[in-house]
Structure 1
Amino acid sequence: MDMRGAVAVLAEEAEQQIQDQVWTVAQSDRALALETEARLRDVVGPPDVQEALPQIKRLEHLRETLAVLAISLARTHGRLAWFLSGALNALEPVLRWRALPSDGGGTFGTVLPSPEEYAQAEDAVRRLRAALAQISAEC
């Protein structure tokens, strides 16, 4: 399953748990979800904006996404933490990406992603933002 699909599954599960009242979203979780969504919005913009950036900037933004998620994960427990952990796991391939040529040296196992892989990861972040916005809106 690709990153988009993995994030979609997470979002659907969160929505179902909230709907079934398995997950009662606490006010602190709503606030953190809202804050995380806003930070992700600042990092990964609309497709036309992201696609116009050099690949090194796109990778920088995706790595910053992982940092935002990790910091949010460190600040919570329970179902929101599990959701954020799943999101980090879904976006994990970004950790092995590089934007610079190897110039004949070793790359520590990193790979050059394709334009489609960048787009897929950015779409996954946008879907994640939408799920966090929904979580933050739950009463």
Structure 2
Amino acid sequence: MDNITNIFREKKLKLTPQRIAVYKYLKSTKEHPSAETIYKALQPSYPTMSLATVYKALKTLVEVDLIKEINVGEGNFRYDGNMDFHSHVQCMCCGRVDDIEGISFSNLNEMVRSHTDYEIVTSKTYFYGVCNHCKTQNIH
């Protein structure tokens, strides 16, 4: 919590209870929820908070680099409280998104750099497949 307080003070932004709630929610889950999912989860504790407020909180938290916005191609942004560099995998059946941990893809930046005249700054790597639940349910 000190991190968010310091960053907001540094950027001269107001640290509202709604922004704190959205941030805490994302830090407490390994899921990659949409704004609508976050809104529904926080509704019981924050009944007066609107979906627009959740979107604004997410936008601000992304801008100050406290959370990541991820787009795995479904046209619906998801949010990630894990700021460590990592890739994602999405189930093509149910849409579930998981972190890929324990594998570093940083060598891809070096490989691309050696095959182009670009200075590679960063990259995002997404993988697509069928999750274990969908495989066992024979959904695919």
Q: TM-score, normalised by structure 1?
A: 0.29
Choose 1 or 2 for highest CA Rg.
2
TM-score (norm 2): 0.28
- Greater share of helix residues, 1 or 2? 1
Between structures 1 and 2, the one with greater strand share: 2
